[in-house]
Amino acid sequence: GNSVTQMEGPVTLSEEAFLTINCTYTATGYPSLFWYVQYPGEGLQLLLKATKADDKGSNKGFEATYRKETTSFHLEKGSVQVSDSAVYFCARSGGSYIPTFGRGTSLIVHP
């Protein structure tokens, strides 16, 4: 079946550090790929998405590239801020429009 695997957290960084959160997906079909972010006390918000191979999604300094050859969609940011502290979810769409989510990765950024 469809699944998404993302690195376990928490990821703890100092402000201005480089961030990578790994995500891989099962290669069935032609999924769209998403990163959602959940700030404390809030619901999931779409951070970025890519709908086909080699597409790069970007938003708020975050980027992720749809890599079909490695079935990956790693999230990166060059310089994290304290306000980026949140839980990040990787997701893929299935044969329908229902996304399959990863377990989430908690990011903690210290000043």
Partner 1 sequence: EPEVTQTPSHQVTQMGQEVILRCVPISNHLYFYWYRQILGQKVEFLVSFYNNEISEKSEIFDDQFSVERPDGSNFTLKIRSTKLEDSAMYFCASSAGTSDPKGETQYFGPGTRLLVL
Q: 11: alpha, beta or left, given left = phi > 0 and alpha = psi -120 to 50?
A: beta
Tell the smallest beta-carbon distance from residue 36 to partner 1 (Å): 8
Cα(17)–Cα(20) distance, integer angstroms:
10
Stretch that binds partner 1, among 10-18, 19-27, 69-77, 92-100 (CB under 8 A): 92-100
DSSP 3-state of 103: coil
Check residue 57 for interaction with partner 1 (CB under 8 A).
no
Q: Give the contact letters, 8-37, x = binds to partner 1 (CB under 8 A), - = no.
A: ----------------------xxx---x-
Is the CB of 2 or the CB of 72 nearer to partner 1?
Answer: 2
Cis ω before 31 (30° cut-off from 0)? no
Cα(91)–Cα(102) distance, integer angstroms:
6
Interface with partner 1 (CB under 8 A) = 30-32, 36, 41-46, 49, 51, 89, 91, 93, 96-104
